[in-house]
Structure 1
Amino acid sequence: MTLDQMKAKAEQIQRDINMILAGIDPKEIGGAVNWADLKCVDVSISLMDDSWCATVEEASPSATELATYIHIGLQRLGHGEVWVRCDW
């Protein structure tokens, strides 16, 4: 995969995560989340094992329900395995 292809994939993952976030009913997801500013701010790839990681800000690192919801949504959109990390 070329650098341009990796960047395009990262941008698509970011757009898809923000779309998923826009469709969530906050009453359905538990955990400490600032729903007003919640968004994907970064997507990276590990050069060691080609794994993808997306960072979603304005949610507690312990917001596992949210991370799992996003992960499943990404799989449904065909992204395969993307690790979702929540951070303040």
Structure 2
Amino acid sequence: MSDRNHNKLPNNLPQLQNLIKRDPNSYREEFLQQYRHFQSNLQIFQLKPSEYSKTLEELVLFLSQVSGLFPEDSSDFPQQLWDVLKVHSTVLDRNMRM
């Protein structure tokens, strides 16, 4: 893959998801980058859980598809989602109730 296309991957989650599913070991760093991005967005979201976050929604969908390929790196992902639902269920934007 050319460097030019490789640099676009973090912003193209469907393409990255496809590549990760085909060869997880080669894209572990990209996965970790997106996982850190998710964690940052989750912290921001928790400041105002009643507001819709398209970025967070896309990251949750992406991670839901590929986190199983990296269980040692993403073992807390399901619990993080559960905690958000448990703590903010009454104020979550209806589209964010994942």
TMscore range, shorter length? 0.3 to 0.5
Q: Is the radius of gyration larger for structure 1 or structure 2? A: 2
Higher helix share: 2
Superposition TM-score, scaled by structure 1 size? 0.37
User: What is the TM-score of this pair, normalised by structure 2?
Assistant: 0.34
Tell me which protein shows more strand as a share of its residues.
Answer: 1
